[in-house]
Amino acid sequence: MSDIKKVVLAYSGGLDTSVILKWLQDTYQCEVVTFTADIGQGEEVEPARQKAIALGIKPENIFIDDLREEFVRDFVFPMFRANTIYEGEYLLGTSIARPLIAKRQIEIARQVGADAVSHGATGKGNDQVRFELGYYALQPNIHVIAPWREWDLLSREKLLAYAETHGIDISKRKSGASPYSMDANLLHISYEGLALENPAAEPEEDMWLWSNSPESAPDAAEYVELEYSKGDIVAINGVAMSPAQVLTKLNQLGGKHGIGRLDIVENRYVGMKSRGCYETPGGTIMLKAHRAIESITLDREVAHLKDELMPKYAKLIYTGYWWSPERHMLQTMIDESQQTVNGWVRVKLYKGNVIVVGRESKTDSLFDPNIATFDEDGGAYNHADAAGFIRLNALRMRIAANARLKRG
């Protein structure tokens, strides 16, 4: 019925991807290989093995990986070196995880000799684009199967009916489960759908799963010291940590102090506006602190060039072009700028606030108190220089104004 022989499915073990698994078997009559990754979503991944087996997947066709360190080291940290924010607000928590999933799926496809890959993203969202641009960039002739664009199970009812008919266990849809459309990884958790589809209405408090509200956060502030090496955090409060450990720790601290909630309307790549809510506790701290360490270690024009290019870089990640040559090109430049971004930043966390209260670089500071001082500086700076500086910067405007005056 199809010429697909083997497909690698990004499989969470949940209802949707279990239905997809079955549907792939039925529709394409092909062998299915499941891939389940721990990227810090906060759920056990090992149970996916039994579910896959229950659905007839051969043990050797089940791949379960812990990608948390790779995720933070090779995706999250490089992105934060650019102070990346999409549309002034969004920290790209979902966007940055997709390229890693795509890469690993393609690696597995090569290893097992699969000719297709499949994912559970819908036809209206950004994630389908992020997955598939990754697939195509890394394996140009791979066959991509996007069930949500192909099948007719477009409502929750139809999906459940299909599951029941095909013997998929739906008992785990416990009554207490969140009804929102969600995505989670070590960088963030997101919520879409339902009441959120009205952007005029405030989300209900019990939607938020990861963080205290600012109101319920501790009444006492907490100070945290972050140590940077080449733009990345390498230690917290003096304790050296791996990338995933850093983000885990900052999530715990940020979540405790009500930090990193976000409620926005964003512009999707596929053309519509969409309302999303996000919790990014650790990322919110990282963004603020990274700007602070850069503020004393980056040259002014380097910092401004980064700022001017950031929206473009953020858009590339949001729209799924992580594996594109232009993202790579920008990353080369960004990484080069981070060679001197070394030192520490102290932040104060308090009820939703991340307050920078100190920053220092023993090795790379460009802050020169002798020049900046309001006191006499012993000749480090010649005040008279400013007159010429201003006059030549003004010259083009003076010539223009004189020309206007002459014309009357």
CB-wise, 141 or 165, nearer to its own copies? 141
CB-wise, 174 or 406, nearer to its own copies? 406
HEC readout, 85-128: CECCCECCCCCCCHHHHHHHHHHHHHHHCCCEEECCCCCCCCHH
The burial of 122, by beta-carbon neighbours within 10 Å (0-12 exposed, 13-18 middle, 19 or more buried), is given as middle
> Angle at CA 245, nearest 5°, toward 292 and 343?
30
299 appears as a binding residue in the annotation: no
- In the complex, what is the shortest distance from the CB of residue 395 to its own copies, in angstroms, rounded to a whole number? 3
319 appears as a binding residue in the annotation: no
- In the complex, what is the shortest distance from the CB of residue 190 to its own copies, in angstroms, rounded to a whole number? 13
CB-wise, 51 or 81, nearer to its own copies? 81
Dihedral sign for Cα 239, 240, 241, 243, please: positive
CB-wise, 59 or 379, nearer to its own copies? 379
Q: Is 403 helix (H, G, I), strand (E, B) or coil?
A: helix
380 appears as a binding residue in the annotation: no
- In the complex, what is the shortest distance from the CB of residue 21 to its own copies, in angstroms, rounded to a whole number? 20
Determine contact, residues 341/294, Cβ cutoff 8 Å: yes
Neighbours of 313 (CB within 10 A): 23
Closest CA to 65 of 91, 98, 40: 40
- Listed as own residue / partner, the contacts of 306-315 with beta carbons closer than 8 Å and 24 or more positions apart are 306/82, 306/83, 306/334, 306/337, 307/83, 309/82, 309/333, 310/82, 310/83, 310/84, 310/85, 313/82, 313/84, 314/82, 314/84, 314/85, 314/86, 314/92, 315/86
- In the complex, what is the shortest distance from the CB of residue 239 to its own copies, in angstroms, rounded to a whole number? 20
Q: Which residue type occupies 231?
A: G
CB-wise, 38 or 127, nearer to its own copies? 127
> Angle at CA 191, nearest 5°, toward 190 and 197?
140
Of the listed 127, 183, 232, 261, which one is catalytic? Answer: 127
161 appears as a binding residue in the annotation: no
274 appears as a binding residue in the annotation: no
CB-wise, 83 or 251, nearer to its own copies? 83
- In the complex, what is the shortest distance from the CB of residue 281 to its own copies, in angstroms, rounded to a whole number? 14
Active site residue 361: no
**Across-strand partners of 360?**
344
CB-wise, 87 or 164, nearer to its own copies? 87
C-alpha to C-alpha distance for 277 and 264, rounded to whole angstroms: 6
Active site residue 98: yes
The burial of 165, by beta-carbon neighbours within 10 Å (0-12 exposed, 13-18 middle, 19 or more buried), is given as exposed
118 appears as a binding residue in the annotation: no
266 appears as a binding residue in the annotation: yes
- In the complex, what is the shortest distance from the CB of residue 350 to its own copies, in angstroms, rounded to a whole number? 6
Active site residue 268: no
Of the listed 98, 261, 275, 359, which one is catalytic? Answer: 98
Of the listed 65, 115, 181, 377, which one is catalytic? Answer: 181
120 appears as a binding residue in the annotation: yes
HEC readout, 131-177: HHHHHHHHCCCCEEECHHHHCCCCCHHHHHHHHHHCCCCCCCCCCCC
- In the complex, what is the shortest distance from the CB of residue 115 to its own copies, in angstroms, rounded to a whole number? 15
Q: What are phi and psi of 230, to 5 degrees?
A: 50, 40
149 appears as a binding residue in the annotation: no
**Across-strand partners of 9?**
34, 118
Residues making up the annotated binding site for ATP are: 10-18, 37, 120
Instruction: Enumerate the active-site residues.
Output: 16, 98, 127, 181
Binding residue ranges for L-aspartate: 122, 126-127
Binding site as annotated, residues: 10-18, 37, 90, 95, 120, 122, 126-127, 130, 181, 190, 266, 278
